A and B are shown apart, each in its own frame.
Chain A
Amino acid sequence: AQSVAQPEDQVNVAEGNPLTVKCTYSVSGNPYLFWYVQYPNRGLQFLLKYITGDNLVKGSYGFEAEFNKSQTSFHLKKPSALVSDSALYFCAVRLADSWGKFQFGAGTQVVVTP
């Protein structure tokens, strides 16, 4: 079965410290991987994606993510977190056997404290 997992329900970090949100996947073939952020009472906003090429991809708002094929991971990172980064983050994978269906992780709540 193809799936994506976010092992942490919540991540707490102090403002200015590095932020990491973990994501692992299990798919057949080459995965297309995405990160989205959801602010309260809003839809999801696209942050970044990995399709092919460099394993380190850069996205919006200073976020980046590293694709690691051997560990089947796609962790989201930000070198210095801001209070405004507090939100719900979703990892997603596009499934090889059903292009139309994005599989989303359960989400990780990020709380950045001043």
Chain B
Amino acid sequence: DAGVIQSPRHEVTEMGQEVTLRCKPISGHDYLFWYRQTMMRGLELLIYFNNNVPIDDSGMPEDRFSAKMPNASFSTLKIQPSEPRDSAVYFCASSQDRDYGYTFGSGTRLTVV
């Protein structure tokens, strides 16, 4: 298995622009998570899905953030409009069962200038 695949690896955008981050989870994993990592706040859970249904989005910072999972093999995290404070590394992770922990992707480093 190729693991959790995220794209792009790096994204630089101007303030006010729309940004879309993509994730392909491991086949057969029922849970998908979006995390954000910064030096100040560490790893923060933004939202997670179970069987493509959003379960907990309490970590989504503002209405500017939205996430979708149209099918079991694809999810997106969208920021519109983007702001400099959104600059961070965004990780996607998937899980089959709690005994195995999460498998994280390599992350998308987002820079908003």
| B is bound to A | no
